[in-house]
Amino acid sequence: MIAPGASNWERARGLKHPDAPKGLKETLTTLLARRLRVKLGRRRSPPSAPGRVAMGRRRGSRQQRRRQTADRSRSRRTLWFGAAALVIIGGAAYLASAPLRTASAPAPAGAPDAVPVIVSMGGFEPNRLTAKAGGSLALRFVNYDNQFHTDGGGWHQFRIEAQDVDVRIAPLERRTFTLQNLAAGTYEFYCDVCCGGKENPAMRGVLEVSA
């Protein structure tokens, strides 16, 4: 027999006793099976409706944060590309307008008829000059190259060996130099401080002095 007040474990063990009543065996077996199903059901039961809503909200918040982060990254890249494009376009426009700026720049005092000569890594512009023998020729050199050029550091030169002329033009400098008492003849001038020096045809030019 099973003593009154026995635990479930004792009751379960008592069921195996041959003297246990048959009805009691069935009742206890049913109760134990029901409790076992309830426990298993609690463990395996899906989350309640409020729990599913909370999980959905958390998942949605994470996805929204990811989208916001991706949008910010795209915005930064767009700003960087836009700034780089503006710098490139501005630099190209500045270089393209160099001849116009030179032509419209006022001549320095004392040299109203100075001939503008642009010096750059591309050579001299113009690379052919003319003058009258016995006279003088004022040249206004304009250097648009800056000190960040890796070849020559932005410096340029106007060199005529036959006339013992050697003019150095600093980066971004504008200066005027006058050739005087020119004798008739053809003289070569060149730049020998950058871009291959006088061996580079682009860095050479000709001065023709006619009688």
Residues 123 and 197 in one domain: yes
Amino acid at 150: T
Phi, psi of 139 (to 5 degrees): -120, 130
| Encoded tokens for 181 | 């008492």
Residues 38 and 118 in one domain: no
Going by the DSSP 8-state scheme, the letter that residue 100 receives in this structure is H
pLDDT digits (tens, 9 = 90+) for 101-154: 433 344 444 456 899 999 988 899 999 999 999 999 999 999 988 888 777 788
SS3 206: strand
Beta strands in 11-153 (DSSP E): 115-120, 123-125, 128-132, 137-143
Determine contact, residues 152/122, Cβ cutoff 8 Å.
no
Going by the DSSP 8-state scheme, the letter that residue 135 receives in this structure is S
Domain count, the chain: 2
Determine contact, residues 189/131, Cβ cutoff 8 Å.
no
Q: What is the pTM of this model?
A: 0.48
SS3 200: coil
CATH number at residue 155: 2.60.40.420
On whether residue 75 sits in a domain, the answer given is no
Q: Residue 205: exposed, middle, or buried by beta-carbon count in 10 A (0-12, 13-18, 19+)?
A: buried
On whether residue 183 sits in a domain, the answer given is yes
Q: Which residue has the higher pLDDT, 112 or 9?
A: 112
| Encoded tokens for 182 | 């020119």
On whether residue 111 sits in a domain, the answer given is yes
> Taking the C-alpha atoms of 167, 134, 210 and 124 in order, what is their torsion angle to the nearest 10 degrees?
10
pLDDT digits (tens, 9 = 90+) for 178-190: 999 999 999 999 9
Q: Which residue has the higher pLDDT, 92 or 142?
A: 142
On whether residue 190 sits in a domain, the answer given is yes
Phi, psi of 65 (to 5 degrees): -65, -40
Statement: residue 83 has pLDDT above 70 = yes
Residue 90 CA, distance from chain mean position? 16
On whether residue 22 sits in a domain, the answer given is yes
On whether residue 156 sits in a domain, the answer given is yes
Residues 203 and 115 in one domain: yes
Domain that holds residue 175: 107-210
pLDDT digits (tens, 9 = 90+) for 57-82: 777 777 888 888 888 888 788 877 77
Residues 112 and 185 in one domain: yes
Q: Which residue has the higher pLDDT, 43 or 82?
A: 82
Q: Is the dihedral of CA 32, 33, 34, 39 positive or negative?
A: positive
Residue 194 CA, distance from chain mean position? 29
Q: Which residue has the higher pLDDT, 69 or 171?
A: 171
On whether residue 64 sits in a domain, the answer given is no
On whether residue 89 sits in a domain, the answer given is no
Residues 121 and 201 in one domain: yes
C-alpha distance from residue 42 to each of 22, 36, 51, 55, 184 (Å): 31, 10, 15, 19, 113
